[in-house]
């Protein structure tokens, strides 16, 4: 019987494992199919993690985290958790390779992944001029022109954020109306260095071995091509929440989620099901930053220890 099962080995899961084991829980397993570290290990440059005054890769930042967490007794199970159920006060976890585990508490820290827009060059230039995080990468385009692709709240909010750093922001959207809050739309429209490029499709992002050089968009009205010479392209067309482990056979979820599938939690990272917690990008209102995910993991672990009493 596990005290705590942690599903996911990114910053939230690793920090939860560190705090839980150092805080006295004896039998804690972190389920992570690959090497721990999370999506941030794919980032080429990070300079906003507190206490690190040098620019480093995500892989370098996360390198020592697993060893630190496991020093206090956290175990790593290289299995994919396919389902979680609860009977009475005990959770049962089933992995894709047929193993089962029972646990008194569960922390879901599986995260989310940005949706792909599907244009030519998106995969080739991701991390080399194409980004899905303005907070992470906006500074690298200080006083330069960039493009933001998307028409929802995230796209418009990030366009406004980038407008404070960049000389100009092209807001590229396939429609001429936005799926964003009226106040967000108004804020964007009153930002002088944002140019709306609407009712277009993204034909391709192009560049060379140094990175992105621009993107081409096609008008849906007359078919004309416009070339935007920008070194940075930010894509915000939604996220896929990795909530599969808590999805039940009938299509419902083990705990309450919102319309986007994000897990609803309180300030203690508690879900609607006693003993089930969620941390990091899988939860509602996540800031999608490493430092915030780590804080979630610590918060969850402290409260799980209290829950288990």
Annotated catalytic residue, options 89, 97, 133, 222: 133
Annotated catalytic residue, options 3, 53, 89, 137: 137
292 is catalytic: no
- Whole-angstrom CA distances from 43 to 67, 188, 257, 290, 308 are 21, 28, 29, 11, 36
- What is the residue whose two structure tokens read 């084991």? 21
- Please spell the DSSP secondary structure of 108-153, one letter per residue: E---EEEPP---BTTTTTBTTTEES-HHHHGGGGTTSEEEEE--BH
Whole-angstrom Cα distance, residue 150 to residue 123? 17
Q: Residue 54 has which token pair?
A: 């040098």
136 is catalytic: yes
Task: For residue 75, report the phi and psi dihedrals to the nearest 5 degrees.
Answer: -105, 145
What are the start-end ranges of the E strands in the chain? 2-7, 28-31, 75-77, 81-87, 90-95, 100-108, 112-114, 130-131, 145-149, 168-173, 194-198, 200-208, 211-219, 225-228, 232-235, 239-241, 276-278
255 is catalytic: no
Annotated catalytic residue, options 136, 166, 255, 281: 136
Q: Which residues pair with 95 in a beta bridge?
A: 81
Active site residues: 133, 136-137
């Amino acid at each position: 019987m596990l005290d705590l099962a942690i599903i996911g080995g990114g910053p939230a899961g690793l920090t939860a494992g560190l705090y839980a084991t150092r805080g006295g829980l004896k039998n804690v397993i972190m389920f992570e199919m690959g090497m721990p570290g999370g999506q941030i290990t794919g980032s080429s440059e990070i300079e906003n993690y507190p206490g690190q005054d040098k620019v480093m890769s995500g892989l370098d930042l996360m390198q020592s985290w697993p060893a630190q967490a496991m020093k206090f007794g956290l175990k790593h199970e290289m299995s994919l958790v396919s389902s979680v159920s609860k009977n009475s006060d005990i959770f049962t976890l089933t992995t894709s390779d047929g193993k089962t585990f029972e646990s008194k508490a569960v922390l879901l820290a599986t995260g989310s992944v940005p949706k792909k827009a599907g244009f030519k060059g998106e995969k080739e230039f991701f991390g080399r001029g194409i980004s899905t995080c303005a907070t992470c990468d906006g500074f690298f385009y200080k006083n330069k022109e960039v493009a933001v692709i998307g028409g929802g709240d995230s796209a418009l909010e990030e366009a406004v954020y980038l407008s404070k750093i960049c000389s100009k922001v092209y807001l590229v959207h396939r429609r001429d109306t936005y799926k964003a809050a009226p106040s967000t739309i108004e804020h964007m429209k009153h930002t002088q260095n944002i140019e709306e490029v609407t009712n277009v499709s993204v034909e391709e992002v192009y560049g060379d071995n140094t990175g992105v050089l621009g993107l081409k968009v096609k008008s849906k009205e007359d078919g004309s091509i416009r070339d935007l010479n920008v070194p940075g392209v930010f894509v915000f067309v939604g996220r896929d929440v990795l909530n599969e482990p808590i999805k039940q056979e009938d299509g419902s979820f083990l705990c309450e989620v919102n319309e986007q599938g994000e897990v609803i939690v309180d300030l203690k990272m508690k879900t609607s099901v006693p003993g089930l917690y969620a941390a990091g990008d899988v939860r509602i209102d996540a800031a999608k930053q490493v430092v915030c995910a780590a804080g979630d993991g610590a918060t969850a672990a402290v409260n799980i220890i209290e829950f288990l009493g």
